[in-house]
Every structure is written in C-alpha cells, then in structure tokens.
Chains A and B, each alone.
Chain A
C-alpha cells in the first residue's frame, strides 16, 4: 500500500490547435477506484487514453508499478513490454463492446484469445477459465459458442468484461462501461462491476458523465472541464460538498428521486 499503482504527472495532449488535456496529475493506489467525470469534450477520454498507453501525450509522465522494477514510465518501455502489460496486468473496457470484442469469434473464444495471447496453450484449461469468467459476469453459459453479433448490448458488455478480467489484471480502464445500455441492464451491470472490483481488489479508472455511476463505483473522483482537473477528492465529499463552481453546477443538475 505504500506505492501507487499508477502515478500520472503533468500530462498534456493537444490535437493540433485543439486542446485535449493539460496539467493532469494524480495517483491511483492498489484497490482504489477513481471516477473521472465531466461533460463531453472535457478531456476525460483523452486522459483515459493517455494513461492506458493508447495515446502518446505531448508532455508528462505516466508511471506504472511493474511487478519487477517498481514504478516505470510506460512511454519509456519498449513496445513489446508495453503490449505485454496491456494484455496481462491491464484491462480496457470500451463503451461500445464492439470496440473491445472480436466480433467474428464466439463468446468463449473471445476470452480464450486473451489467455492464448499470453501463452496459455492448454485448451481444456482455456475453456474452463472462459466458462468460469462468463459465469462470474452472469452470462448464460448455453450461449458460450455463439457469436457476439447475436447478443444484446448488455450481454456483449458482460463478455467484454470477462475477456478483460480473465488474465487477472491489477488495473482496469473503463470508458463509460454502462453508457449505451438500457437503464435496467445498466443497474445490474453496475452492481456486478461493483462486486467484481471489490472482490478482486482491482484498481480502476472509470470515465463517466454519470455522477450516479461514480457514486456507486468510485472511492475518489476527478472533475474535469475544458481539459483540466477543476476538483478532486473523496466521491461523497464532491457530491455532498462540491467546491468548484463547475462541480457545484454538475451536482446540482442530478435528478433527485
């Protein structure tokens, strides 16, 4: 617990003249869930993509606590080293499951593929693991051999989550994981994610514009606006006592029930 699992310092990214993000610094500790909130265009996805090595920042460092060498800047690593990290220690859950799944492979194969990518060759073990993880995400196992194209959005999202968790990652990046789903499906999936993250002791960064999602899943929150962090703190502190004018506006816009 005395070293962060991910340490981000002074991250900056622009797209030509367009601002992506700047002055982004934060740490994530093992087992901690961080929500990055803000409206569309606030730079949340840029932060997620830069910290998950999917996009190289213009400046700043993203250091990850590797199992052997301690904190290492992910952009100083060799390409294979970084790829290996992304396939094993990290997970990435896209808002649209089609971006995270192999659509021409069955549900079971989608999960097996991630195991094979790290060298697992024992087919019966691969199939057992795939079944186990599909079970944990409450996926109907009778459909393990069907193609994702034949699943509902909620089922596809479950497969994507199982595919990410099968390698027992320590850090999972999620981009609006329940964004495109019906409200009823969303609630079940959120509850499932909450349980999984807590049972597995995962650290996670969740990008969302939905403060209710943040309240359910995250210990801590970062509020972004126009590419910068305007407030960060304990989730219920930001929701109960927001300090920045923009956070106050966001919180006061939540529908009460």
Chain B
C-alpha cells in the first residue's frame, strides 16, 4: 500500500460575508481525500460547486472552517489548517506548486525572470535557472523575442503559458492545477499533458481541475466528484 502525500480529512469551508448582512455561504462539506505520490486525482462537478475552493484550501489562501489538510511525507506532513504563515511559505517554496491560468503580473519584470524566480528562491544559480527557464519557454512555444519583455502587453494565451512555465519549472512533490489547459490550442494542450505526465513520473502527487475531457482522460488516475451544497442563510 502506498502512503499518501496529500491527505484531507473532514474538510469544510464556508464564507461569512460580514458586509453583506452576515450571510454565510457554505462551499465544501466534509471532504475526505488521499493522494499518493505519482498519482493524479481530478476534481469534477458542476460550475460553482467549490472545485477551486478545494485547491485554495490546500494551498492555504483559503482558511478551512473545519477539518485538516496534511501535505508532505506522513512523518513530517504539515497541517495547512494549523500551520504558521512562514511554514506555509516554506512548503510552497519546496513542496507544493499551484498553477492557474492567470498570470499575476509584476510590473516591468521580463517573462524569463518570472519563470526563473521559483528556481532562484531555491538557490539555483543564475545561469542554470536561465537555461532551464529558456527550455521551458521554448517547450511552451513562447517565441524567443518575447523572453526579455515584460508580459503586460502579451496576449492572454501567451501570459497563460508564461504562468505555466513558471508553475512547472520546479519539480514539486505536490501540485495543484486549476484548469491549466483552459483556452490553450491543441498543440500547447499536448505540451501541458506531457508536463503533467512527467510530473507524475517524477513522483508528484497531483490534484487538478480540467474541463477538457481529452486532458482529463489522458492524465487522471481517479476522479473526485463534488456535489452541490446549496446556499444556507
């Protein structure tokens, strides 16, 4: 039996909107999930059911209302729901990657440096980080003339691929993927499928949301179906 690298127990999440009459919106209710190293689980369910919220609860940008989320090898796993901010920052540097389709633009920083940054933070030297980033950008079909430019003027698709390059540049032992292939053309979609398969082979535990059935069938080992909760006052 394989040990799980991501382990979620009894996770619930609701939002309380204090400035809108104190209304409470439940999003996740008692979710249990285990993901082993080298395994890719795909979250499915209708739009608005809380798929992205689940990923954000694992990454730590959403606070869980109840339950626990352990990430890491069982002996040293960190419970995200109780961890100090600096422990989460550290986990994100070394262990847990998160890829969305949206690039958060830092003014003036060239595309290649955005991709290099996670490597630089891990102490990879400048030349090696640059070389690996160049390979990744080329693999995602970003023309070389764009590498030294800041992506604020790039097309949506180019920005998305810069973000993918940044997300896959470090071989994280755990990866959260929020629709990384949305709105990519067929060729680039295949590149991303290849990146996900490589991550699995490298032993990464992956939780992903993919609307594209083709991608899902290509990478998923299992599916987790989230059910509608409904809104309670």
Contacts and interface: CB of A to CB of B under 8 A. Distances in A.
B2 interface: no
Interface stretch (B29-37, B60-68, B69-77): B60-68
Interface in A124-175: none
Interface residues of A, number: 24
A62 B21 CA distance: 39
A188 B108 contact: yes
Nearest to A252: B19
A188 B106 CA distance: 10
B107 A188 contact: yes
B86 A219 contact: yes
A240 B85 contact: no
Nearest to A30: B86
A248 B18 contact: yes
A249 B17 CA distance: 10
B15 interface: yes
Nearest to A246: B18
A248 B17 contact: yes
Contact of B19 (A187, A190, A194, A245): A245
Contacts of B16: 243
Contacts of A76: none
Contacts of A29: 86
Interface in B1-31: 15-19
* Dominant secondary structure of chain A at its interface with chain B: helix
Interface residues of B, number: 20
Contacts of B120: 198
A191 interface: yes
A191 B109 contact: yes
A240 B56 contact: yes
A28 to B, nearest CB: 9
A39 to B, nearest CB: 15
B18 to A, nearest CB: 3
Given A32-B86, A198-B121, A245-B19, A237 B106 contact: no
A38 to B, nearest CB: 17
Nearest to A198: B121
Contacts of B19: 245, 248-249, 252
Interface string A35-78: 00000000000000000000000000000000000000000000
A188 B107 CA distance: 7
B63 A241 contact: yes
A219 B62 contact: no
Interface in A222-239: 233-234, 236-237, 239
Contacts of A220: 85-86
B61 A234 contact: yes
B88 interface: yes
A191 B117 CA distance: 13
Interface in A172-229: 187-188, 190-191, 194, 198, 216, 219-220
A29 B89 CA distance: 12
A253 B89 CA distance: 26
A219 B85 contact: yes
A245 B18 contact: yes
A191 B89 contact: no
Contacts of B18: 244-245, 248
Q: Which of B61, B108, B109, B120 has the most CB of A within 10 A?
A: B61
Contacts of A252: 19
A237 B60 contact: yes
B86 A191 contact: no
Contact of B89 (A219, A240, A241): A219
B182 to A, nearest CB: 20
Interface of B: 15-19, 56, 60-63, 85-86, 88-89, 106-109, 120-121
14 contacts: A194-B106, A216-B106, A233-B63, A234-B85, A234-B88, A234-B89, A237-B62, A237-B63, A237-B85, A239-B61, A240-B62, A241-B62, A243-B63, A249-B19
The 3 A-B residue pairs with the shortest CB-CB distance in the complex, in nearest-first order: A245-B18, A187-B107, A240-B61
